[in-house]
Amino acid sequence: MSKLQWIENKIISRDALLHHCNQLRTIGKKIVFTNGCFDILHRGHLDYLARAADFGNILVAGVNTDASVKRLKGEGRPMNNEQDRAFQLAALLCIDTVCLFDEDTPEELIRTVRPDVLVKGGDYTIDKIVGADFVQQYGGSVEIIPFVPGYSTSALIANIKKL
């Protein structure tokens, strides 16, 4: 398999994701889930994703579709389309699977994955993390990873516009 095929095969549909996660669970893999827009990848994202991957054997990344990003972030976003954002994440060694979702929250995707560990960034508290209650109900854990100071997609976009 070529490297390009390897990357493309990591991007799967929600239906395929359900089957994939069930297979992984049967062989004892610990599944970690995180999500985001990942509009312009920067060091903060990469640090966060690498740390998230350390909580288990498999890291599944949910990526907001273009329509979802626009609803959440406003006009002018996303800067990169959903296929490009999914491809960039799939190219990372720390990510095993990428799945797009169109809802405003990842709740349905979390219920599909049923992760052992749900991970979000440092701007969240556990009571504000969508899906946290669901994951904890079946014995999963929720982890919050601190931000890397000085890295933000919004700040990066503002800086680019200023230049």
Residue with tokens 């890397």: 148
pLDDT at 123: 82
Q: Is the dihedral of CA 99, 2, 93, 37 positive or negative?
A: negative
Q: Which helix (H) or strand (E) is 75 found in, with range? A: none
pLDDT digits (tens, 9 = 90+) for 2-57: 999 999 999 999 999 999 999 999 999 999 999 999 999 999 999 999 999 999 99
pLDDT at 143: 98
Instruction: Give percent of the chain above pLDDT 90.
Output: 83
Residue with tokens 């990372």: 92
Phi–psi pair at 61, nearest 5 degrees:
-110, 120
pLDDT digits (tens, 9 = 90+) for 63-120: 999 999 999 998 889 999 999 999 999 999 999 999 999 999 999 999 999 999 999 9
Whether residue 61 has pLDDT greater than 90: yes
Strands (E) in 14-131, as ranges, are: 31-36, 58-64, 97-101, 117-121
Domain that holds residue 114: 3-162
Is the whole-model pTM more than 0.85? yes
What is the chain's alpha carbon radius of gyration, rounded to the nearest angstrom?
A: 15
Q: What is the CATH number of the domain that holds 89?
A: 3.40.50.620
Number of domains making up the chain: 1
The answer to whether the bond into 149 is cis (omega within 30° of 0) is no
